[in-house]
Amino acid sequence: MWRVAPRLKVGVVAGIAGAGFGSYGICKFSSWGSDENELGLLNGRRRGYFEGSAHGVRCEGKYDKLAAKYPGFVETFQDHVLDMTRVARTLFVFSQLVLEYKVLKWKSKGLDDAEECKLRHAANNKGAGLVLELCRRNGGIFIKLGQHAASLKNAIPVEYIKTLQVLQDNAPPRPMEDVYAVIDANIGLERFHALVEEIDEVPMGCASLAQVHKAKLKDGNIVALKIQHRNLRKVVASDVTLFKYLNWTVSKLFADEGFSLAWALNEFEQNLRQELDFLEEASNCEECRHNFGNDQTLRNKVVVPKIYWGLTSDQTICMDFIRGVPIHNVDELKNRKVDLPQLASVVLEAFAAMIFVYGFVHCDPHPGNLMVIEKHHSKTGRVQLALLDHGLYRRLDEGFRNGNCELWQSMILQNKDTLKRVCTSMGMPALWQIMPFLFVNRSVDTVADLGESVVMSAEEKTKLRERLGISNFSFADVGSFANELPNDMVLVLKTMHLIKDLNDSLGGNNRDRFLTYAKYAVYGSNPTTFGFASHWPLFLLRFYCNELWGGLFRQRVDPTHGQSSMEMSQIVGTRAN
């Protein structure tokens, strides 16, 4: 220990962390005395820096006594060391990424587009690998950030998307001591034991924010208890601050390119706030349960768990335990003879209803949050869809919801005048030409059938980019339209993209997906049984007449050389569903 000022005492323990970075824990004390040396030894022993090391210092005999004398200090010190290790590791990877893209910029001067694209692809692959390893090593919120980035297709380079998609939000389970500490602080152990007969100490799952335990209540109900990790919010706050600093730095270093992911980071931070508030999650779950329970079409197709408010708080949530098959386990679903096309239809209808009719959207439809329940004797079919994890929702602005309903109807019918008017009213007048590509894979002028992909000539691509103000696709174009899209549209695009992946995995097709969205868009504009019954047949008639007219009187586009919506959006540098 050293004295650095007459009235200041600082304890420093240094060591080498697993990643090869120096880690420092700095602790200030209020008075001089033997406590200083005791705490220094306690720090070193706790982190393993002294015992059996080159320092030749051992403090095994005093460790337990010191840990008891300073309760909570050991954990606090450990958190500081781990935080600083994560920061050091992050800054090291960040410096590698900056160097990689600065070198790319220098090497790209004077190269043609093909050569530049090849260099960029290599740089993106290398950078994506570095980010993937960083997320895995740091864990926690870094995993969630990586997953968030992977869901923003075409807002970041495709190499990052493909690489980060493998991230799984798994974490080592916390000890029951921590679980009971959170329960005691939020519910009280006495009340907990008065309501709960038994709890499985081995969690069913453990992620970066919480872990879930199966439990049995005194009334016989089987429930799932979701317990937030102890002291999590402190770690989240420090990590988010670090992310903001890195984004600010990269925006300065690449100022000429105009690159910034502030919009994505702001969305991520907002999502985290929602997910950390379990009372809000419980409220979301109840509202979702109410919406589907009052929907005559979907009430028997969609299951939402019941909340037990007596065991629910800011950091704990108790709900019905639902037994089923995760929707991503397609092989198991096939073994159980589940009707996959019917299941895909239920998924599409459920999320279409939330987006176009309810205006209250589950924005985290990852496969792990959707369970399939077999209902062999149900009058409505063989399967039900269970919606889990209600931490991330978006309540759509009513004006946006209505506008989005009109937007979809105009895109499906290829009504150029309505499309222009709706995009203008929604605050994105310059994007009316690109919105159909983002959502339905075709423009308002193409003659390809709904669900087919279209091909554009190089001349057409150039004209479209000129209309949109893009002179040449480059690193700066990634996410270039982010600030022009309404906030609600960002979440809708992200959700629809995740649903597209699910639909594809279940054997669904784009045409059915688009028509399901159109059906609920019509219903959202005419939310009565009579209104929908009178408008939907008329809409279908106009749709089929439009496709027939295109097939008879205009030149057909060969779909065998088509491009997907993802590729199209990469041409113009925007986001896709």
Q: Does the active-site annotation cover 364?
A: yes
pLDDT class for 190, splitting at 50, 70, 90?
very high
Domain positions in the chain: 2-71, 176-206+209-230+276-395, 398-572
Per-residue confidence (pLDDT) for residue 97, from 0 to 100 = 94
| Band (14; pLDDT cuts 50, 70, 90) | very low
Q: Which tens digits make up the pLDDT trace of 460-481?
A: 556 655 655 554 433 334 355 6
- Condensed to tens digits (0 to 9), the pLDDT of residues 48-92 reads 433 333 333 444 445 455 555 545 444 444 454 456 888 899 999
Given a cut of 80, whether residue 284 has pLDDT beyond it is yes
Distance (Å, whole) CA 388 – CA 369:
5
Tokens of 268: 């991520």
Quick one: average pLDDT of 200-214? 93
% of the chain beyond a pLDDT of 70: 72
pLDDT at position 560: 36
Return the minimum-mean-pLDDT range out of 18-32, 101-115, 383-397, 507-521. Answer: 18-32
| Whether the predicted pLDDT of 230 surpasses 80 | yes
Give the pLDDT of residue 483. 64
Tell me which of 458-472, 480-494, 517-531, 541-555 is least confident: 458-472
Task: Report the distance separating Cα 577 and Cα 575, nearest Å.
Answer: 7
**Better-predicted residue by pLDDT, 346 or 116:** 346
Pick 170 or 332 by higher pLDDT. 332
Residues 348-361, mean pLDDT to the nearest whole number: 97
| 16-48 confidence digits (pLDDT tens) | 333 333 333 333 333 334 444 444 444 444 444
CA atoms within 13 A of residue 90's CA, in its CB half-sphere: 21
Taking all residues of the chain, what is their mean pLDDT, rounded to a whole number? 78
> Which pLDDT belongs to residue 109?
86
Measured CA to CA, the distance from residue 30 to residue 298 in angstroms comes to 64
Name the band, by pLDDT with cuts 50, 70 and 90, for residue 447.
low
pLDDT at 337 over 60: yes
pLDDT at 147: 84
User: Is the C-alpha dihedral spanning 288, 294, 296, 302 positive or negative?
Assistant: positive
Q: Which residue has the higher pLDDT, 459 or 20?
A: 459
CB 7: neighbour CB atoms within 10 A? 8
Name the more confident of 157 and 420. Answer: 420
The C-alpha angle 242, 393, 427, rounded to 5 degrees, equals 85
List C-alpha distances in Å: 82 to 1, 145, 368, 464, 529.
21, 19, 29, 50, 58
CA angle 521, 264, 491 (to 5 degrees): 15
Please report where in the chains the tokens 């895995």 appear, as a residue: 136
Picking from 375, 326, 381, the residue whose alpha carbon sits closest to that of residue 505 is: 326
pLDDT at 26: 34
Q: Are strands 196-199 and 383-387 parallel, antiparallel or unpaired?
A: unpaired
CATH level 3 topology of 176-206+209-230+276-395: Phosphorylase Kinase; domain 1 (3.30.200)
**Sign of torsion over alpha carbons 161, 163, 164, 166:** positive
How many residues appear in the chain?
A: 577
The pLDDT tens digits for 484-498 are: 788 888 888 889 988
67 versus 545: the higher-pLDDT residue is 545
- Per residue in 266-275, pLDDT (tens digit) is 888 888 888 9
* pLDDT score at 151: 76
Q: Which of 178, 295, 364, 504 is catalytic?
A: 364
Percent of the chain with pLDDT over 90: 41
> Stretch 445-471: mean pLDDT, rounded?
60
Q: Cα separation of 259 and 501, whole Å?
A: 28
Q: What is the pLDDT of residue 175?
A: 94
Mean pLDDT, rounded, for 366-384: 74
CB 455 within 8 A of CB 420: no
**Of the given ranges (175-189, 376-390, 550-564), which has the lowest mean pLDDT?**
550-564
> Among 127-136, 469-478, 511-520, 523-532, which is the least confidently predicted range?
469-478
196 vs 192: CA distance, rounded Å: 6
Where b means 16+ CB within 10 Å and e means fewer, 361-395 reads: bbbbbbebbbbbebeeeeeeebbbbbbbbbbbbbe
